[in-house]
């Protein structure tokens, strides 16, 4: 593995790295001034588009392309929402950026607002990040004082206000239209699409929703150039016209059963094994990995034999996972029960399902109840078939829900059962020797409410 000098994380470990003075000493805000003085918004869009930057929030949609969906010559206002509601289990890359280098994020926001002609930007921050909240607000205040925010920034005709909004701790607020609804002061029920936010978003105006890390990448592209960005990562697959390639550095959040968990910056395309062994110091206590979550719990599971899969936008999909997601790699060692893993996963999604669409609302809670029952020693082999059916029919991809939360809930279920069915069957046979073959309905267990 080639050594890689962190770019997005360069402020980590720098004393007072979160201050504007430190950020400017590292070359920050100079690119912004240059862009404001020399470039038109369309040039910035073109720059980001040609860099091949794909959104870091999970779906991996081309950022530049997203910006071009905004209506041309719209009288405004156009809004930029920065999604800092980082709630995917195992994910903490946005947090590092917001806590240790908030100005990098803010510079990215200013550049992106300039490109999209937004004069108001909202940062939707998850409630559980008080430190990020203080650091970001401090950085916003510093940026106002330094004249990078406000009216006529640096003598250009461009004005921008950034508002930091603290959410109230719900996973669904990370879905872009759920975020918009929540920002409008409503219940965070994702909207039906179309219309997409680029056409009708926040306050029914054109809106771009981007991730915090995407913003940081925009700042780095402006500073180091498109060529630098494209030199990192995995180029597009010439055999797959729908693969736009995975360029740039990525923050991988490594956690779980590894010796050295943490947030590591690496070029896109590093394999899971390289990440675990190279950065994480290997699976802890000298054990072997049983499974690895490639990018947050909703992306599914990779088995030990699939660890050589490159963690780029196309890689995890090739082994049956949903995608790269947030690149939150969670290692599960071979002492861990996959039944426990799935139970935990189902508990999370049953708790976080917003409850709007029937298949997700009932499917997540039904799967949790079945897992509760299996864990209580009353499982049946039939439950596995039902779980698999729920996993295969719930979600935006089969068309049964409005947003992708259900896909995220479904993927761990179907990956776990397909890839570890033997372990589930053994568990059920062992814990329920008299009833594992029952196929009639059985009484439900009392479960503790989600709240």
Neighbours of 444 (CB within 10 A): 12
Q: Are 87 and 129 in contact (CB under 8 A)?
A: no
Cβ closest to other proteins, residue 93 vs residue 365: 365
DSSP code per residue over 281-318? -SBGGG--EEEEESSSGGG--EEGGGTTSB-SSSHHHH
Cβ closest to other proteins, residue 101 vs residue 352: 352
Contacting range for other proteins; rule: CB under 8 A; set: 109-117, 237-245, 297-305, 356-364: 356-364
Interface positions, 169-188, toward other proteins (CB under 8 A): 170, 187
Query: Does 224 engage in binding with other proteins (CB under 8 A)?
Result: no
Phi, then psi, of 335 in degrees rounded to 5: -90, 0
Cβ closest to other proteins, residue 25 vs residue 240: 240
Cβ closest to other proteins, residue 157 vs residue 446: 446
Residue 266 bridge partners (DSSP): 250
Query: Does 402 engage in binding with other proteins (CB under 8 A)?
Result: yes
Query: Does 87 engage in binding with other proteins (CB under 8 A)?
Result: no
Query: Does 414 engage in binding with other proteins (CB under 8 A)?
Result: no
Provide, rounded to whole angstroms, the least separation between the CB of residue 163 and other proteins.
Answer: 26
Provide, rounded to whole angstroms, the least separation between the CB of residue 400 and other proteins.
Answer: 5
Which residues, 6+ apart, have CB-to-CB distance to 157 below 8 Å? none
Provide, rounded to whole angstroms, the least separation between the CB of residue 92 and other proteins.
Answer: 24
Neighbours of 166 (CB within 10 A): 19
Phi, then psi, of 50 in degrees rounded to 5: -75, -20
Site string for other proteins, 357-396 (x = CB under 8 A): xxx-xxxxxx--xx--x--------x---x--x---x---
Interface positions, 136-155, toward other proteins (CB under 8 A): none
C-alpha triplet 306, 311, 314: angle, nearest 5°: 95
Can you tell me the distance from the alpha carbon of 211 to that of 26, in angstroms, rounded to the nearest whole number? Answer: 23
Query: Does 356 engage in binding with other proteins (CB under 8 A)?
Result: yes
Site string for other proteins, 432-451 (x = CB under 8 A): ---------xxxxx---xxx
Q: List the one residue out of 397, 416, 323 whose CA is nearest residue 359.
A: 397
Neighbours of 43 (CB within 10 A): 13
Cβ closest to other proteins, residue 104 vs residue 353: 353
Site string for other proteins, 312-351 (x = CB under 8 A): --------------------------------------xx
| Angle subtended by helix axes 93-100 and 102-116, to nearest 10 | 100
Neighbours of 70 (CB within 10 A): 20
Cβ closest to other proteins, residue 73 vs residue 440: 440
Query: Does 353 engage in binding with other proteins (CB under 8 A)?
Result: yes
Q: Are 346 and 409 in contact (CB under 8 A)?
A: yes
Q: Which residues bind other proteins (CB under 8 A)?
A: 170, 187, 189, 192, 350-359, 361-366, 369-370, 373, 382, 386, 389, 393, 397-402, 441-445, 449-451
């Amino acid at each position: 593995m080639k050594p890689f000098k962190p770019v997005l994380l360069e402020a980590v470990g720098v004393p007072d790295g979160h201050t504007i003075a430190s950020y400017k000493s590292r070359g920050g805000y100079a690119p912004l001034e240059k862009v404001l003085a020399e470039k038109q918004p369309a040039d910035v869009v073109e720059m980001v588009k040609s860099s091949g930057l794909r959104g870091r929030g999970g779906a991996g949609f081309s950022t530049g392309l997203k910006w071009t969906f905004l209506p041309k010559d719209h009288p405004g206002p156009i809004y930029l929402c920065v999604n800092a509601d980082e709630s995917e289990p195992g994910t903490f890359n946005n947090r590092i950026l917001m806590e240790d280098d908030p100005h990098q994020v803010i510079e990215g926001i200013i550049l992106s607002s300039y490109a999209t002609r937004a004069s108001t930007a909202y940062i939707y921050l998850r409630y559980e990040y008080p430190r990020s909240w203080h650091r970001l607000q401090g950085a916003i205040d510093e940026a106002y004082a330094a004249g990078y925010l406000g009216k006529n920034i640096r003598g250009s005709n461009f004005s921008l206000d950034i508002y930091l909004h603290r959410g109230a701790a719900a996973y669904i607020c990370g879905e872009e239209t759920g975020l918009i609804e929540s920002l409008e002061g409503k219940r965070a029920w994702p909207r039906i699409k179309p219309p997409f936010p680029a056409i009708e978003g926040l306050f029914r105006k054109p809106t771009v929703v981007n991730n915090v890390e995407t913003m940081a990448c925009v700042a780095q592209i402006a500073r180091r150039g498109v060529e630098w960005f494209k030199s990192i990562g995995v180029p597009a697959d010439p055999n797959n016209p729908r693969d736009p390639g995975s360029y740039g550095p990525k923050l991988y959040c490594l956690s779980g059963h590894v010796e050295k968990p943490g947030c590591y910056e690496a070029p896109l395309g590093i394999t899971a094994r390289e990440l675990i062994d190279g950065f994480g110091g290997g699976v802890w206590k000298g054990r072997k990995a049983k499974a690895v979550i490639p990018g947050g719990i909703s992306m599914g599971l990779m088995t030990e034999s699939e660890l050589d899969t490159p963690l780029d936008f196309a890689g995890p999909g090739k082994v049956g996972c949903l995608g790269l997601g947030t690149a939150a790699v969670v290692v599960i060692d071979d002492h861990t029960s996959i039944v426990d893993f799935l139970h935990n996963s189902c508990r999370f999604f049953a708790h976080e399902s917003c409850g709007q669409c029937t298949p997700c609302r009932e499917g997540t809670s039904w799967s949790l109840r079945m897992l509760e029952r299996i864990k209580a020693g009353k499982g049946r082999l039939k439950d596995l078939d039902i779980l698999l059916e729920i996993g295969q029919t719930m979600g935006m991809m089969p068309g049964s829900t409005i947003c992708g939360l259900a896909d995220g809930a479904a993927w761990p279920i179907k990956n776990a059962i397909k890839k570890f069915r033997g372990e589930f069957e053994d568990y059920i046979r062992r814990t329920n020797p008299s009833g594992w073959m029952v196929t009639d309905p059985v009484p439900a267990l009392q479960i503790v409410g989600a709240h």
